[in-house]
Amino acid sequence: MSGKRGRGRLGPAVAVAPGARVDRFEVFFDLVFVFSFFIITRATALDINGTNLLHALLVLAVLWWSWVVHSVVATRVRLGEGFVPVLMVVGMAALFTFALALPQAFRDPGENAAGPMVAAGSYVIIRLVHFALYRHVVRDNPEERRQLLRFAPELVLSTVLLLAAALIPAQLQDPGRAALTRDGLWATVVVLQYGSGLLAGTWGWRVTSAEHWTERYDLILIIALGESVISVGVGSNLLGQPPTWPAVAAAVLGIVFTAALWWAHYDWVGPAARIALHAAEGRPRVAMARDAYAYLYLPMIAGIILFALGAERIVHEIADPHIPLTERAHGPSVALLFGGVICYFCGNMLFQLRTLHTLSWIRVGTVLALAVSIPIASRLPGLAALTLLTASCVGLVALEVLTMGEARDALHEVVVEERTTHETREAAWRARWHEPEPGEPST
């Protein structure tokens, strides 16, 4: 009864309309979510090795699935209206706690059992908030309630496995066996979550607003790219000493190649995919939304984190006055930098293939060239390796601008026409606010 009174005072949940856009509260939530990306990058940067990279990718995959569930909820109800923001603040607090506990989630179980437990407990709260809100939204729709129940086993098993990953390793005497058990349980969670999304199919789901769905994912990708810039700036020690010309050059190159990655998606692939999702209806729209956005954005996000790790180490060495500028980059920094960009482009090409059923051979060639360049760049000074990567990314953009001129122009004309028509209709609707009241003389 008290819950109903609270909802009455705060207002009811508001359904998402077919032409809905992302509201401000959703962007607010995204900022807390992307903080987790920053924490993953910072925790991994402390000691980059194969095991820590595996842990970072496992955490990212589990975290991204919670984002997918969050985006599904946001397709049905406005998160910033009525009583919903109060519930979502609880989820935000749990998400923030989850992010803070991530660096401890894979520590030696004998050293600290609190970190894994906090991470698992926070994740349980996040998922329960999403489940409860979606259950409330579909309470009057038997078909969608049945579809929601098909995901209940995944929710229960995922949370149980994460709790087991926090509790069981601490009971094992052999540290190697404990670590293997913990990693195996996390990997099982990832397989369970993404496998359940495929097995459940598209029956019973719907994407009410294709505009809202695409904008939601485009914004999180932009924020992730911005987080990579922040991570490189913070971790490379650029703020800790007077700037030098090599450090300034490295910073500029980092911004340029990140902007090239932005351009590679948002110049024509992203807008064309948005139109394709608008054109699809029913189950084909849901399948495209799931495959292209929920699944194929993950390798792009993973690529951003990987190249941020590599760029951070390279820029740190360039900015260090005690390291000669001619000395080649140390450790796996070049492999992470080039490999992260390759991962980003591969995810983007798969996204293009799924939504547009086309493939850019310029991008295929760029990926192959980057892969071949890794052994060469590993023998170059850090600034030279960063220059080579930036030249490759900018070259890709330049080639596409030159060779796809007519197609790009046609797409941009459609986008501008659509935007202009939408804004004209908005202006016409809002003109009523300036109409005189009945009986009042017009001016």
Within the chain, which residues score under 50 in pLDDT?
1-3, 5-6
Read off the tokens for 29: 């939530």
Q: At what angle do helices 152-171 and 142-150 cross, to 10 degrees?
A: 20
Q: Of 44, 99, 51, nearest to 312 (Cα)?
A: 44
Q: At residue 376, what is the residue type?
A: I
Sign of the alpha-carbon torsion through 210, 213, 219, 225: negative
Contact criterion met (CB below 8 Å) for 310 and 338: yes
Query: CATH classification of 208-426 is 1.10.860, yes or no?
Result: no
Residues of the chain within CATH 1.20.1410 domain(s) are 208-426
Non-local CB neighbours of 225 within 8 Å, separated by 6+ positions: 258, 261, 262, 304
Structure letter (DSSP) for residue 107? S
Give the long-range contacts of residues 17-21, CB within 8 A, separation 24 or more.
17/208, 17/209, 18/208, 18/209, 19/209, 19/211, 20/78, 20/208, 20/209, 20/211, 20/212, 21/209, 21/211, 21/212, 21/215
pLDDT of the residue at 443: 53
Residue 285: name the closest of 220, 208, 347 by CA. 208
> What pLDDT was estimated at residue 275?
95
Distance CA 11, CA 14 (A): 9
pLDDT score at 110: 59
With beta carbons less than 8 A apart as the criterion, state whether 73 and 134 touch. yes
Residue 329 contacts by C-beta under 8 Å, 6 or more apart in sequence? 313, 314, 317, 377, 378, 380, 381, 382, 385
DSSP secondary structure, 346-385, as one string: HHHHHHHHHHHS---HHHHHHHHHHHHHHHHHTTSBHHHH
Taking the C-alpha atoms of 330, 263, 78 and 202 in order, what is their torsion angle to the nearest 10 degrees?
-90
Q: How far apart are CA 117 and CA 109, in angstroms?
A: 11
Do 64 and 299 meet the contact criterion of CB atoms below 8 Å apart? Answer: no
Instruction: Using alpha carbons, select from 367, 373, 417, 372 the residue that is nearest to residue 396.
Output: 367
The pTM for the full model equals: 0.91
